[in-house]
Structure 1
Amino acid sequence: MFWIIATVILLVVVLTLILFRVEDLSYLDREKYSVSNASPSAENREVLERIREMGRAGRGLRGKARLMAMRKYMDSLSDGLELASEFRHCDNPRGEWVIAPGADTKRRILYIHGGAWVAGSPRSHRAITDRLSHVANAAVFAVDYRLMPEHRFMDGVRDCRKAYTWLAENGPDGPGDASFILVAGDSAGGSHTLGLLAWIRESGLRQADGAIAFSPSTDLTLTAPSNRNNIATDAMLGPTFGGLSKIPRPIIWWATLAAFRVSPASPVASPLRNNLANLPPILIQASESEMLLDNARRYAAKAKAEGSPVQLHTWAGMVHVWQIFTPMLPEAEQAFADIESFIREIESRKCGPEVGQT
């Protein structure tokens, strides 16, 4: 019996080493970044209360009931906001056009929402897409990609790819080439955003003019230090995912493979582990207190090392994807002002002579 158990354990170890070739990326943690010293605004207390409400919405529920409660709460995040944009439903690809008054519909943004690939929708992120349409003077298409567990992870990836290909040649009023394209997303959607850029490059398609990622996950192997070190300071992700720190990583990798049907070390699931050369300008925003901070830092460091222009800007004490709390939260307004500057920089590069990388 002992030898049978030992053989099984050895087999599992060997299979783990073969299936999950997880390169050690700790060398990327050596790069230093400036840290915002500003204290969170008074409005941040209200944001923290709303995060606690989200947790209470699923209290006592399990399984599908808990997931449905989380989805319902997320969809209510933009309720009550005075949004000036026009919202148009689209069936194929499935999603929603968000058009600010006077926006140039040849300028387009593909927005990929977050929600851990199991929640979120174009409706839940209207505060962000409305604001993006205003600051970019562009029509935003919020793709309603298929979610887990009803669908496979790769179904959602394919939906994003289809939406981008279609967006380049179609606007809210019908066929017509885009004059300017951005891809943007938050959290899980931020990871899809960064993964999409590499796929566009490899497919030989018209590349986006730039990309914006709010607190992107970038790496499902959960090997970045902040994935464990920032559990206590992450009001959004800590209570939900903090328990993973007690589980050995190989077990998490096997569970991820079973749920996603994709290895967590795959570049599709973890864009950090892809070739990051020859990508368009990227702006990443993250919070110093969140679990995904080092995921963003590692991606920025690797992309820069491989020659792609990327900027990482961090805020102190903000919740995960605090940009969704615009206009109530001053730091969210600061983030969109930062995005507006980033877009102007991209446009100046397109119009003028080439300049050095950021």
Structure 2
Amino acid sequence: MIILVGAILVGLVLALLAFMFTRDSLSKYDLPEGRRFSPADATAVAASAAAVKALNKRLRGASGPLEKMPWKQRILAMRETMDSFFSNSDIASQIIPVDAAGVPAEWVVAPGADSSRRFLYIHGGAFMAGSPKGYRVLTDKLSAITNSAVLAIDYRLMPENTRLACVEDCRTAYDWMLENGPQGPDADTLEFPTAVFVAGDSAGGNLTLVLLAWARDNQRRAPNAALALSPVTDSRYTSPSIRGNLNSDVILKPLAKRLAWVPGFMIGLAARFMAGHRASDPVVSPLLGDLAGLPPLLVLASDCEILRDDGRRYVNKAVEAGTDATLMLWDNVPHVWPIFYPDLPEAAEALEQVDGFFKRHS
């Protein structure tokens, strides 16, 4: 028993030392801050504040009850909330359900979109919630502005499945998309992709960045460009904004506030348990991998969200490695705010930047 207790104490000390060393080694990527966006004048400030206030009220109404639920019940309620939040929104795109080599998915094709241009979209939801249904406003818009067919995938979720199952489904769907369009297999339609894009938000942003490294290392066709909205890049959750922005992040606070008092190295151990995998492995923490030789990348984040520094650190490290990566920060908007188009003025502004980015890399 004494030996066992001693071994546990030694392990905790080593974990604490490892956490402290890693934190210091990554702090150099907290600067520069990236390009910032703020309302242009007093009228824009007032309009933005009113829109954010109305949205935050709606978000608190949807997420508030989750805080008092047991964990399993909370996950089920979160899934229902994410799928229904935009259920009354109108879209112009055609929705085509498909089986992407065993991964449930749907094509979202805007009127007149070129189906030889393919766009894989990976939804967020803390790896535990979300589906293509809840993202149709965004995927509809992405299809229109990139003139492409968007494949939105319904990857396997935790805790019923492992984190690596999420990763595997993204790889499978990407390979499938390279050979299949909305009309069927390219071998039949002779419509091989003329351009390929990948994007994701939050957890889906993490999976997007992991997919980029996998495609580079496994001789897959690289995307022309990629987009990550408020991505998780370090699954050990050590970035400064995890704690610094806890009270200002209206969306993620219900999930994260219980961790506020937990020491950082303990969060890392919990993250490993939740992921069913070593949290420092780049397959779940893309920030910790080799970021050289990746396609052009745009990262968007809110200055008041807890994942701000995950995106900042990833971009700064990628630029250091020679990758064409850009960080854009918006003031006083919720986590993954582009999904709230057209209700937030900043969502339209962000999508204008996304439009320009993809046009430059088509």
TM-score normalized with structure 1 length:
0.92
TM-superposed CA distance for 1:276, in Å, is 0.5
TM-superposed CA distance for 1:235, in Å, is 1.0
Whether 1:29 and 2:44 are equivalent positions in the alignment is no
Distance in structure 2 (CA, Å) of the matches to 1:45 and 1:29? 29
Distance in structure 1 (CA, Å) of the matches to 2:67 and 2:9? 37
Determine the structure 2 residue equivalent to 1:43. Answer: 51
Question: For 1:125, what is the secondary structure of its paired residue?
Answer: helix
Residue of 86, 95, 106 corresponding to 1:87: 95
Query: Retained in 1: the 8 A contact 2:121–2:139?
Result: yes
Query: Retained in 1: the 8 A contact 2:34–2:326?
Result: no
Percent identity among equivalent residues?
40
Question: For 1:98, what is the secondary structure of its paired residue?
Answer: strand
Paired AA for residue 295 in structure 2: P
Query: Retained in 2: the 8 A contact 1:182–1:211?
Result: yes
Distance in structure 1 (CA, Å) of the matches to 2:350 and 2:99? 31
Residue of 164, 174, 180 corresponding to 2:184: 174
Distance in structure 2 (CA, Å) of the matches to 1:281 and 1:226? 25
Query: Retained in 2: the 8 A contact 1:20–1:264?
Result: no
Structure 1 residue runs of 4+, over 6 Å off? 1-4, 15-21
Paired AA for residue 271 in structure 1: P
Give the aligned length. Answer: 347
Query: Retained in 2: the 8 A contact 1:277–1:303?
Result: yes
Query: Retained in 1: the 8 A contact 2:240–2:309?
Result: yes
- In the TM superposition, what whole-angstrom CA distance separates every residue of 1:231-252 from its partner, at most 9, and x where no partner exists? 1111111232023121012222
Paired AA for residue 344 in structure 1: K
Distance in structure 2 (CA, Å) of the matches to 1:27 and 1:87? 44
Determine the structure 2 residue equivalent to 1:259. Answer: 274
Distance in structure 1 (CA, Å) of the matches to 2:359 and 2:18? 46
- In the TM superposition, what whole-angstrom CA distance separates every residue of 1:297-329 from its partner, at most 9, and x where no partner exists? 101100000000011111100000011111121
Distance in structure 2 (CA, Å) of the matches to 1:302 and 1:186? 19
- In the TM superposition, what whole-angstrom CA distance separates every residue of 1:65-93 from its partner, at most 9, and x where no partner exists? 22111110100122111111111111233
Determine the structure 2 residue equivalent to 1:248. Answer: 263
Q: Which runs of 5+ in 1 are unaligned?
A: 348-358
The structure carrying a bigger helix percent of its residues is 2
Distance in structure 2 (CA, Å) of the matches to 1:241 and 1:203? 35
TM-score normalized with structure 2 length:
0.91
Cα gap change, 1:238/1:63 in structure 2, threshold over 3 Å: closer, same or farther? closer
TM-superposed CA distance for 1:60, in Å, is 3.8
Determine the structure 1 residue equivalent to 2:249. Answer: 234
Cα gap change, 1:11/1:235 in structure 2, threshold over 3 Å: closer, same or farther? closer
Determine the structure 2 residue equivalent to 1:61. Answer: 69
Residue of 75, 87, 95 corresponding to 2:83: 75
CA RMSD of aligned residues (A): 2.0
Distance in structure 2 (CA, Å) of the matches to 1:183 and 1:78? 22
TM-superposed CA distance for 1:260, in Å, is 1.0
Distance in structure 2 (CA, Å) of the matches to 1:8 and 1:346? 51
Cα gap change, 1:255/1:80 in structure 2, threshold over 3 Å: closer, same or farther? same
Distance in structure 2 (CA, Å) of the matches to 1:312 and 1:34? 6
Query: Retained in 1: the 8 A contact 2:67–2:254?
Result: no
Distance in structure 2 (CA, Å) of the matches to 1:292 and 1:114? 13
* Range that drifts further, 9-18 or 181-190: 9-18
Query: Retained in 1: the 8 A contact 2:56–2:250?
Result: yes
Distance in structure 1 (CA, Å) of the matches to 2:193 and 2:265? 44
- In the TM superposition, what whole-angstrom CA distance separates every residue of 1:7-65 from its partner, at most 9, and x where no partner exists? 53124434776899847211111324343332434211221012102223425421322
Query: Retained in 1: the 8 A contact 2:31–2:316?
Result: no
Cα gap change, 1:32/1:71 in structure 2, threshold over 3 Å: closer, same or farther? closer
Query: Retained in 1: the 8 A contact 2:230–2:301?
Result: yes
After TM superposition, the structure 1 = structure 2 runs for residues 139-288 of structure 1, keeping only pairs within 5 Å, are 139-176=149-186, 177-288=192-303
Determine the structure 1 residue equivalent to 2:189. Answer: none
Query: Retained in 2: the 8 A contact 1:253–1:263?
Result: no
Distance in structure 1 (CA, Å) of the matches to 2:202 and 2:11? 35
Residue of 315, 318, 321 corresponding to 1:300: 315
Paired AA for residue 293 in structure 2: N
Question: For 1:232, what is the secondary structure of its paired residue?
Answer: helix
TM-superposed CA distance for 1:337, in Å, is 1.0
Question: For 1:8, what is the secondary structure of its paired residue?
Answer: helix
Query: Retained in 1: the 8 A contact 2:19–2:264?
Result: no
Paired AA for residue 118 in structure 1: M
- In the TM superposition, what whole-angstrom CA distance separates every residue of 1:85-104 from its partner, at most 9, and x where no partner exists? 11111123311110111110
Paired AA for residue 81 in structure 2: Y
Query: Retained in 2: the 8 A contact 1:78–1:127?
Result: yes
* Range that drifts further, 65-74 or 35-44: 35-44
Query: Retained in 2: the 8 A contact 1:57–1:69?
Result: no
